[in-house]
Amino acid sequence: MKRRDFFKYGLGSAGVAVSGGITGRAGEINYVSQASHFQHPWWVKEIEKPKLGIDDRIYSRFEARKNVFGSMAKYYGIDNLRELSRRSEEKTKKYYQEKRPGYRLEDRALADAAWVISRQGGLNRGTRSWTRNFVTTPEERGVDKYKASPSQAAHLIKTAARYFGAATTGVALLDHRHIHSEERGKKIVFEKADEPYENDTKMVIPKKCKYAIAMTVLMPIDNIACSPTAISSAGSSMGYSRCEFLVAGLAEFIRGLGYTAIPSVNDLGSSVAVAVDAGLGELGRTNRLISPEYGPMVRLCKVLTDLPMTVDKPIDFGLMEFCKVCKRCAEACPSGCISYEDEPSFEIKGEWNNPGHKAWFEDSPKCLAYWEESTSGCSNCIAVCPWTKKDKTVIHEIVKAASAKIPALDAFFNSMDKSFGYGRQKSAEKWWKTNHFEYGIDTAQGKG
C-alpha cells in the first residue's frame, strides 16, 4: 500500500470507526441518511389515504378476463372486430407502399423487436415465474436468511430495484382487492402456504406475502412523442421489456435473500392501484398513474413478497386539481375514450372498469379499436400530458412545484404549456437521426 493510500484509507476507516462509536448504530443511521435517494421532490405531500377514495362496500377483486384485452370481441362485437382487422391490414399495406414515416418496415420491426424480453414472461411463466429460477438460496449457501430492520430492508430493496432499472420504487401493504380473482382460467387465492404454487384449478399466493413493491420504469419520451406511429409503439414495448428484466431480477434477488417473491407486470392485479398505495403517483384523468417526477411516461410493475419492510404513504401533488382543468389527454385522444367530465366519479363506463373506486373512467374498447385502426397503437394521452417533460430546464420544476402548491394557477400553466408547443407530435423520420441515450431514456432524470 502506498503512503498516500495508507493515509486515505487508514484515516477514512478511523473516521468511520469513531463515528460508529459515537452513534452506536452506524448502519441504521447510514440507511436513514441515504433514504433521501428515494424521496419525492419537496412539493409532494404524503397523505394517509389516496385522494380518489374507495367505496369499501363495492370495491372487490376483478376478474382479469373482463379487461378489454380479454373480452374485446364481446364489447366491440365480433363482426365489427373482423371488419376493423380487415381495414387495419389494408391500411398497413398502403402505408408500406407509401413509405409513410413511422409505418415503414424498419419502424414496425423496431416496435416488434422491443418486445423481445417482455415476451419471455407471463403470469407465473418464464421470467415471471413465482418460484426461483437459478439463484442460490441462503440455505444452500449454509447461512441464515437476510435479517435487518424494516427500514434497512426497504432501503436495500429500493437500491436493488434502481439497479435493475426502476425509476422510482415504493412499498405498500398488499390490499388483496387489487389482485385479480381469476386469470388464465384459474382462480387466484390466498392460502397459508410456504411457497406460491399453481395447479390445474388455482394459483396460490401465500398469505405471508403481505408486502407489494411497486416500481415505475421510465419510457423513452422521444419515442412516445411520435405517437401514434410504430416508433411510439416501440417506446411502450421497450418499457415493458425493461419491466420484465426489472421484476425478474428483483424477484431473484429477494429469493437470494431467503424470502418469497412473486414478480408481475400487468398480470396478477392492478399495478396502478398498488403504485398509488405505495406513493408513486396519483390517478389521473386517463385512469392511469401520473408520477410527480415523470408524469404518465412510465410503465408499472410489482413484486409481492414476505420480506418485512417499512411501507410508504400515498401522495398528493395537486394532480387531481390539475386534471380537472387540463383535459389535454381527452382532447388529444383520437378515439374519444377519455372522460371530459370535470369531476371524477364512481360511475364506470362498462364491465372493463373495476367499480368501487373514484376515477375518470375510460371507454377502453374505443381505445383498443383505435390501436387497430391506427395500425400501430397509440400513446397520445401520454405524449400530450403537461407532466410529461424531460426536465432539462428548471422552468418545469418551478411549474410543477407551483401547480402542486397553488392550484389556482393550473389553467394558466396548461395554456402556457400549449403555447410553448409541448405535446406536439414529433417526426418519426427525425427519430432515426437523433442521438439517443441507451434505451432511449435519460436515467439521470428525476434523481435530484
Residue 347 is given by DSSP the state: -
Q: How far is the CB of 411 from another protein (least distance, A)?
A: 19
* Nearest by Cα to 74 from 308, 365, 404, 295: 365
Q: How far is the CB of 386 from another protein (least distance, A)?
A: 12
- The full length of the chain comes to 448
Binding segment for another protein (CB under 8 A), chosen from 183-191, 280-288, 320-328, 387-395, is 387-395
Q: How far is the CB of 420 from another protein (least distance, A)?
A: 4
* DSSP assignment string, 123-146: TTEETT-SS-SSPPPHHHHTSPPP
Out of 57, 99, 192, 392, the only residue in the binding site for another protein (CB under 8 A) is 392
Q: How far is the CB of 345 from another protein (least distance, A)?
A: 35
Alpha-carbon span 386 to 423, nearest angstrom: 7
Out of 5, 57, 393, 448, the only residue in the binding site for another protein (CB under 8 A) is 393
Out of 17, 395, 406, 408, the only residue in the binding site for another protein (CB under 8 A) is 395
* Nearest by Cα to 373 from 341, 400, 336, 398: 336
* DSSP assignment string, 57-110: TT--PPBGGGSHHHHHHHHH-HHHHHHHHHHHHHHHHHHHHHT-TTSSHHHHHH
Q: How far is the CB of 401 from another protein (least distance, A)?
A: 15
H helices of 177-268, in order, are 221-224, 230-256
Residue 434 within binding range of another protein, rule CB under 8 A: yes
Out of 183, 222, 363, 372, the only residue in the binding site for another protein (CB under 8 A) is 222
Number of residues that bind another protein (CB under 8 A): 14
Between 2 and 433, whose beta carbon lies closer to another protein?
433
Out of 165, 389, 404, 410, the only residue in the binding site for another protein (CB under 8 A) is 389
Out of 138, 390, 401, 425, the only residue in the binding site for another protein (CB under 8 A) is 390
Alpha-carbon span 127 to 249, nearest angstrom: 9
Residue 285 within binding range of another protein, rule CB under 8 A: no
Binding segment for another protein (CB under 8 A), chosen from 118-126, 133-141, 312-320, 385-393, is 385-393
Q: How far is the CB of 435 from another protein (least distance, A)?
A: 10
- Element (DSSP H or E) covering residue 274: helix 271-277
Between 277 and 442, whose beta carbon lies closer to another protein?
442
Alpha-carbon span 73 to 439, nearest angstrom: 35
Residues 404-433, one symbol each (x = binds another protein by CB under 8 A, - = not), give ---------------xxxx-x-x-------
Q: Are 220 and 238 in contact (CB under 8 A)?
A: yes
Burial (0-12, 13-18, 19+ Cβ within 10 Å), 420: exposed
Between 83 and 397, whose beta carbon lies closer to another protein?
397
Binding site for another protein (CB under 8 A): 222, 389-390, 392-395, 419-422, 424, 426, 434
